[in-house]
Amino acid sequence: MAEAAIVRVRHCGAAIFGRRVPERCPACGRPLRGSELLSAPLRLPSPFRHGHRQPRAFLLRPTAGTFLGGYDGKSDLHVGITNSNGVVYNYDAEGVHRAGTGWEQCISVPLVQPHMYGLLQQWDQLLEEFSAGEPWLPHRYDEHEHNCYTYALAFINSILTTQGKREMTKSEFTEKFVIPQTKRAARYITLHQELTANDFYIVPLPQQEQQC
């Protein structure tokens, strides 16, 4: 899913965000051409990834809609695990799904490092066998106690166990891997929403960062 770029320039002691670089500063009206290097335009990287192009990853997306398509920050989120071909295994009240579409705008947490050769080869088989287990039958689903996150974390912990590593609690995994990503996403969503309504979004910089 294509996203319109967001760029940032610094001027007048503020960070100025927009879809394009303005010829003149929206705050003071002075030309921006010839500004110092510290004020050079910077394109902000999107925190979102095409989930079906993220092999062996933990994915997070809104249950309905997309992050940049009206997500309010409070609606339910859905998670899944990709196989080596980007098929997203995810669990809900109907059991385990193997989705080839629908996860085009996600937060992605890679789960396998390139040097883990054995796991790279076994990943798909382990994921398929795990997903066929009795705990993931439809009647076992519970929205609060036995849900998509339960499924994804249980699979991750099964991998950690086979590697002789300690399992992670939900709070540990969330704190270490999910929250840093969702904080970046929340800032990006705010910028996106502001620039949907306005040409530019101006944020005063802390005193120590004001260069011009």
Residues 58 and 158 reside in one and the same domain = yes
pLDDT digits (tens, 9 = 90+) for 64-73: 989 998 788 7
Residues 64 and 163 reside in one and the same domain = yes
Q: What's the pLDDT score for residue 212? A: 46
In a domain, 184, yes or no: no
In a domain, 160, yes or no: yes
In a domain, 158, yes or no: yes
- Kindly list the distances between the CA atom of residue 146 and the CA atoms of 10, 63, 83, 129, 158, in Å, as whole numbers in the listed order: 47, 16, 22, 19, 16
Reply yes or no on whether the pLDDT at 1 is more than 60: no
Residues 13 and 83 reside in one and the same domain = no
- Average pLDDT, integer, range 2-16: 86
Residues 35 and 56 reside in one and the same domain = no
Distance CA 107, CA 62 (A): 10
In a domain, 55, yes or no: yes
pLDDT digits (tens, 9 = 90+) for 83-139: 999 999 999 999 999 999 999 999 999 998 877 778 889 999 999 999 999 999 999
Residues 163 and 62 reside in one and the same domain = yes
In a domain, 134, yes or no: yes
Residue 84 DSSP one-character state: T
Q: What's the pLDDT score for residue 58? A: 98
Residues 29 and 88 reside in one and the same domain = no
Residues 62 and 157 reside in one and the same domain = yes
In a domain, 174, yes or no: no
Task: Tell me how many domains the chain contains.
Answer: 2
Q: What's the pLDDT score for residue 35? A: 58
In a domain, 111, yes or no: yes
Q: What's the pLDDT score for residue 37? A: 47
Reply yes or no on whether the pLDDT at 210 is more than 80: no
- Kindly list the distances between the CA atom of residue 169 and the CA atoms of 153, 157, 166, in Å, as whole numbers in the listed order: 8, 9, 10
pLDDT digits (tens, 9 = 90+) for 25-61: 888 888 877 655 456 788 999 999 999 999 999 999 9
Residues 74 and 140 reside in one and the same domain = yes
- Residues in CB range of 212: below 8 A, 6 or more apart: 10, 11, 12, 13, 35, 36, 38, 39
More confident residue, 32 or 190: 190
How are strands ordered across the β-sheet holding 95-99?
A: 95-99, 88-92, 77-82, 57-62, 107-110
Residues 129 and 86 reside in one and the same domain = yes
Residues 154 and 107 reside in one and the same domain = yes
How are strands ordered across the β-sheet holding 42-43?
A: 42-43, 7-11, 14-18, 200-204
pLDDT digits (tens, 9 = 90+) for 137-189: 999 999 999 999 999 999 999 999 988 999 999 999 999 999 999 999 999 99
Q: Which domain holds residue 35?
A: 7-45+195-209
In a domain, 2, yes or no: no
- Residues in CB range of 159: below 8 A, 6 or more apart: 111, 119, 126
Residues 88 and 115 reside in one and the same domain = yes
Residues 55 and 127 reside in one and the same domain = yes
